[in-house]
Amino acid sequence: MLEKRIFELRKKRGILLMPHLVLGCPSFDENRRLIATMVGAGADIIEMQIPFSEPMADGPVIMKANDEALKNGTNTTQCLDFAKSVCAEHPDTIFVFMTYYNIPFTYGVLDFVKKTKAAGVGGLIIPDLPPEEASEYMSCCYSEGVDPIFIFTPTSKPERLKHLSQFSRGMIYCVGRKGVTGIKTQIDDKVSDLIKLYRSSTDLPLAFGFGIQEKSDVDRIANDVDIAVIGTKILTLHQEGGVEAVGTFLKNLRK
């Protein structure tokens, strides 16, 4: 279970960093270099996205990366094999998958979860799968020891948040604002109130994402959540400046 590991790391390191990448974009070799750089720069958790043709929660940058990965021929088996390799290379780093439900459903849910576990990936984030439609998925996750990570959103009422918390394991992915990924979130009093609502709804670690783009964003949430999720910013930096730019950015978040 990820929960214990996350809380232990949180005590040692302060707020944890969870950068995001899309597998197969621009290549698995580049993914490997990027992950090594991110780990070396202080990333605690790596969120690896298995590409899908209709990534409905994602903004244009991540959507384009999904499209590029699929045009490169990236498939689920390749992603699972890559994950097994990279998890072995970085045994002290937590890895999670993010994807959409069509991927495990088409692959075979139990087989997918078993291979996720065998790869060393500890959790699954599937934005388009609510618990009401996830009985098979949750059963497989619970039995195989892979954490199903559900999502808190600003439009969810308090009773809904508590309901979601009952089914989630490892952490809760907390969305900072309405809309898709990539647009900067203004970390203001409204967001602080939202985080307080999220915190009151669960005892699990909180991973806060959607629009974290600079050190001041991380500093503003450092005392209130456990994990800062950085997605679009990582992809943009990588496209513009390579792995070195990503490494420098993550190191600066730790200063």
Amino acid, single-letter form, for residue 215: K
Cα of 244 vs its chain's centroid, Å:
21
SS3 211: coil
- Which tokens in the block code for residue 47? 């969120």
Q: Which residues pair with residue 218 across a beta bridge?
A: none
Q: Indicate if 47 belongs to the active site.
A: yes
Of the candidates 48, 171, 66, which has an alpha carbon nearest to the alpha carbon of residue 119? Answer: 48
Stretch (H or E) spanning 105: helix 102-107
Phi/psi at 206 (nearest 5 deg)?
-105, 125
Q: Which of 3, 29, 30, 47 is catalytic?
A: 47
Angstrom distance (rounded) from CA 228 to CA 45: 10
Q: Which of 58, 147, 217, 226 is catalytic?
A: 58
Residue 159 neighbours by CB under 8 Å, 6+ apart: none
- Which tokens in the block code for residue 15? 């707020």
Q: Indicate if 58 belongs to the active site.
A: yes
CB 137 within 8 A of CB 148: yes
Residues tagged active-site: 47, 58
